């Protein structure tokens, strides 16, 4: 059999009796008169409701703002990861002496697999323009210049800027070539003898 809980109705009844007793006592002593008391109770309830509504609206706006900020941070982190992976694969083509058409098709897959989800129309058109400049993928100097411009486009997109050609592209190409010059003067390791 289900046991009936009498504690709650008794507590509510006691609270109401105390409240009514308090009101009767204050009216008898002359602290408040009943008409004045009702207007003060009404004003207090109205104030509480207004405060509750304003607080709810402010908290809802703050939550929406925080959600948008969190979403923006996650998208930016994903962009950095995708752009870094793409730039790494792109420059890997320059380091490879045996670049093939398949390597460029893999780069295309990378663009359509992830990069296009983050680039806006303007940056995507700039990327198309730069890729169309590659006529001969055996010309490493032209590829280095094109890849430097593409890197600059992606950096500008990450920073939220409109792309503008600048000296950074020249510096990137010079930096790439400097590493090539250093690597060409390094002694080559001797092949290991097989037993």
pLDDT means per 10 residues in the chain (195 residues)? 71 86 78 72 86 92 92 90 88 76 79 82 82 71 81 84 67 68 64 60
pLDDT at 65: 92
List the one residue out of 122, 121, 123, 148 whose CA is nearest residue 133: 148
Eight-state DSSP code of residue 131: H
For the chain, first and last CA: distance in Å?
A: 89
Residue for token pair 């100097």: 141
Torsion of Cα atoms, 33 then 38 then 44 then 49, to 10°: 180
Distance from C-alpha of 185 to C-alpha of 173, rounded to nearest angstrom? 19
The alpha carbon of residue 138 and the mean position of all alpha carbons in its chain are separated, in whole angstroms, by 38
Token pair for 18: 């105390």
Residue 6, SS3 per DSSP: coil
21-46 residue pLDDT tens: 887 777 778 776 667 777 777 888 89
Token pair for 128: 């198309």
pTM (predicted TM-score): 0.58
Residue for token pair 């398949």: 102
Q: What is the DSSP string of 55-108?
A: HHHHHHHHHHHHHHHHHHHHHHHHHHHHHHHHHHHHHHHHH-SS--HHHHHHHH
pLDDT at 93: 79
- Sequence ranges of the domains in the chain: 9-62, 72-184
pLDDT at 55: 92
């Amino acid at each position: 059999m289900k046991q009936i809980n009498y504690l709650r109705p008794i507590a509510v009844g006691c609270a109401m009796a105390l409240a009514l007793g308090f009101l009767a006592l204050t009216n008898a002593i002359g602290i408040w008169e009943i008409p004045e008391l009702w207007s003060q109770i009404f004003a207090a309830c109205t104030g509480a409701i207004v405060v509750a509504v304003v607080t709810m609206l402010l908290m809802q706006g703050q939550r929406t703002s925080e959600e948008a900020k969190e979403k923006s941070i996650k998208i930016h982190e994903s962009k950095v990861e995708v752009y870094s992976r793409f730039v790494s694969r792109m420059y890997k083509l320059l380091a490879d002496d045996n670049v093939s058409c398949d390597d460029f098709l893999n780069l295309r897959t990378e663009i359509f697999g992830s990069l296009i989800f983050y680039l806006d129309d303007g940056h995507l058109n700039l990327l198309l323009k730069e890729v169309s400049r590659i006529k001969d993928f055996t010309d490493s100097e032209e590829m280095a210049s094109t890849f430097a411009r593409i890197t600059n486009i992606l950096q500008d997109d990450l920073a939220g800027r409109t792309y503008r050609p600048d000296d950074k592209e020249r510096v990137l190409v010079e930096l790439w070539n400097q590493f090539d010059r250093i690597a060409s003067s390094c002694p080559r390791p001797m092949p290991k003898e097989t037993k």
